[in-house]
Chains A and B, each alone.
Chain A
Amino acid sequence: MSDDLTISRQKALKALAEHLDGRLLSNLNSCVHCGLCGESCQYYLTTRDPRFIPGRKVDLISGLYKRYHTVTGRLIPRLVGARDLDDETVREMVDVLFGACTMCGRCTAHCSIGIDIPFLVRTARTLLSEMDLVPKGLRSTVDAAIQSGNNMAIPHNEFVDTILWLEEDLKMEVNDESATIPLDQPGKRIMYTLNPREPKFFPLSISVMAKVFYAAGEDWTLSSNMYDVTNYAFYTGEDRLAAELTKRLVTEMQALGSTMLVLAECGHGSRSIRWEGPEWIERPYPFEVKTAVELLADYIRSGRIRVDPSKNKLPVTLHDPCNLVRLGGVIEEQRYILSHTVSNFIEMTPNRTNNYCCGGGGGQLSMSEYNDRRLTIGKLKADQIQRTGAKIVATPCHNCIDQIMGLNQHYGLGVEVKTLGEIVADALVL
């Protein structure tokens, strides 16, 4: 390691060295520069800026690996594409790997080798975190979660008050004084989670899930101590913090003794908790994990709730959140739900695992610095939506919802954006 590097850069290189396992090495050493990824990437397709080609992003981090971990990289750096961790490299890493990647994984789906590019981007973000270079909004979102227990720093009493307020509303909505939104109740089958933006600003999606649970006669509870389904440390690449947030959920599940953890409609949260979490805490969960989408599909399939598609007459299209669909494997359940709850469902093209990101993934929504790019790359999504002629966009991810609401205003789409829970609740026959 060079002595002329600052301490923070030495820390970053130390982190790179620690992460060099078989998985990382094979991903770092496999790019053949075929360029197919360029045509799959939203940033490149909408800007034609060559710096945004995913293969170039791979080169950024593999250049560091070559420079500090291979003989040829040390001796003939220019010939093998090795890069010093200098000011220019650091600047480009921040700009391109935080500011121009939603980690949507579409490049990997199109890669001729199958390189896990979002994994490399996340690893690079780990190095940038070591150098304290995480963009401000993303940093404070992670810090809020770690310090307060939820990523919007909602005080405990305000959360409880909001749930009680929603419970009153539910009683009126279903005209039943015994209807409840159970809070901190031990021994329930399900512990349900929330994205903090729901209690803070958009509580309708909590109300509709409570209504569906009521209709299904579900045995469920919310926790007031740990309800946050998000894990933004996934986006900063900080495994230690990601593990801490995961552990809190596991601890709360065990304290309440629920047997199934149900994840609110949240793309990265579903992926983090379901697929990455056990890796971070280095042990399997002692309970079942299910996404709200799968649970809703189960209810309809088993006849536990009755729904009438004629109650949702406006044309509906579906946006596939990358982390839930391409990277999470929940693909057909949402279509099953829509086929039973709306009378006119129109697929956007491309869809399923080849879908375009909304443009707000990868933590982009929390990084104001790159707002213009976020709206620029969202053009592809806006066009997709417009081509369907749909009046409602359904999507099982609060982050996608916020981005699509932004696109709706920016591009004048004139659509309504809804969670699947809202669609199901509207179709409920009580």
Chain B
Amino acid sequence: MLYRLFTHTKDFSNFAEKFYSLKLMTTKNLHSMPKLEIQGVSFNVDGDGFLQQPDLWSEEVAILFARHDGTGELNEKHWAVINFIRNHWKETDMAPMVRKICEHTGLRLREIYELFPMGPARGACKIAGLPKPDGCV
């Protein structure tokens, strides 16, 4: 996974730049939003720690979020879930049903909860940069 970090370093600095310029532009609206600071990088999140501007997501964000919420280092199985959730959301504006996550990644239901101790919503969807789903989650 380390190679991802290196290959995306440039993207990451772009991301940081984009992030900060956006923050400056909208300081007035965002000043009361909660901030999540992980390893020196700060994110605008909602009260539950979901990314406020899902477009600012990158793989580095996922890595930082996963470290922060106790999911730990992300392996290939994690990435399969995260990428599927991310793509599904981009296409349909919805988090996928957990059945679809299993179907598309070939993982068993039980594995999903083991991979993401916070569950598919507060764990996987949050790491994938989605807004918080409605309902009892």
Contacts and interface: CB of A to CB of B under 8 A. Distances in A.
B123 to A, nearest CB: 9
B98 A405 contact: no
Residue of B50, B69, B97 most packed against chain A (CB within 10 A): B97
Contact of A203 (B99, B118, B122): B99
Residue of B95, B119, B135 most packed against chain A (CB within 10 A): B135
Residue of A144, A200, A230, A399 most packed against chain B (CB within 10 A): A200
A202 B98 contact: yes
Contacts of A202: 98, 119-120
Interface residues of B, number: 27
Interface footprint category on A: 35 or more
A15 interface: no
B136 A371 contact: no
Contact of A200 (B48, B49, B97): B97
B128 interface: no
Contact of A405 (B50, B99, B118, B132): B118
B41 to A, nearest CB: 20
Contacts of A195: 135-136
Interface in A342-389: 365-372
A154 B97 contact: yes
A372 B118 contact: no
Given A201-B98, A405-B118, A405-B119, A152 B46 contact: no
Contact of A371 (B48, B69, B94, B135): B48
B132 A402 contact: no
Contact of A158 (B46, B97, B120): B97
A137 B136 contact: no
A302 interface: no
Given A154-B97, A165-B99, A204-B109, A406 B134 contact: no
A159 B50 CA distance: 25
Secondary structure call for the A interface? helix
B134 A152 contact: yes
B121 interface: yes
Contacts of B97: 154, 158, 161-162, 199-201
Interface string B72-115: 00000000000000000000001101111001000001000000
Nearest to B92: A155
A152 B119 contact: no
Interface in A239-272: 266
A368 B70 CA distance: 20
B133 interface: yes
Contacts of A399: 136
B134 A140 contact: yes
Contacts of B120: 201-202
A207 to B, nearest CB: 9
Given A201-B121, A203-B109, A204-B109, A409 B136 contact: no
A151 B134 contact: yes
B47 interface: yes
Interface in B42-64: 46-50
Given A137-B132, A409-B69, A409-B118, A201 B137 contact: yes
Nearest to B52: A368
Contacts of B134: 137, 140-141, 144, 151-153, 366
Contacts of B46: 368-369, 371
Given A200-B95, A369-B47, A405-B118, 7 more contacts: A152-B135, A197-B121, A197-B136, A201-B120, A230-B136, A366-B135, A368-B48
Interface of B: 46-50, 69-70, 94-95, 97-100, 103, 109, 117-122, 132-137
15 contacts: A151-B135, A154-B97, A161-B97, A195-B136, A202-B119, A203-B109, A230-B136, A366-B136, A367-B47, A368-B46, A368-B48, A405-B118, A405-B122, A406-B122, A409-B70
Q: Which 9 pairs across A and B sit closest by C-beta, in order of nearness?
A: A371-B47, A368-B47, A368-B46, A141-B134, A368-B48, A201-B120, A399-B136, A152-B135, A162-B99
Interface of A: 137, 140-141, 144, 151-154, 158, 161-162, 165, 195-197, 199-204, 230, 266, 365-372, 398-399, 402, 405-406, 409
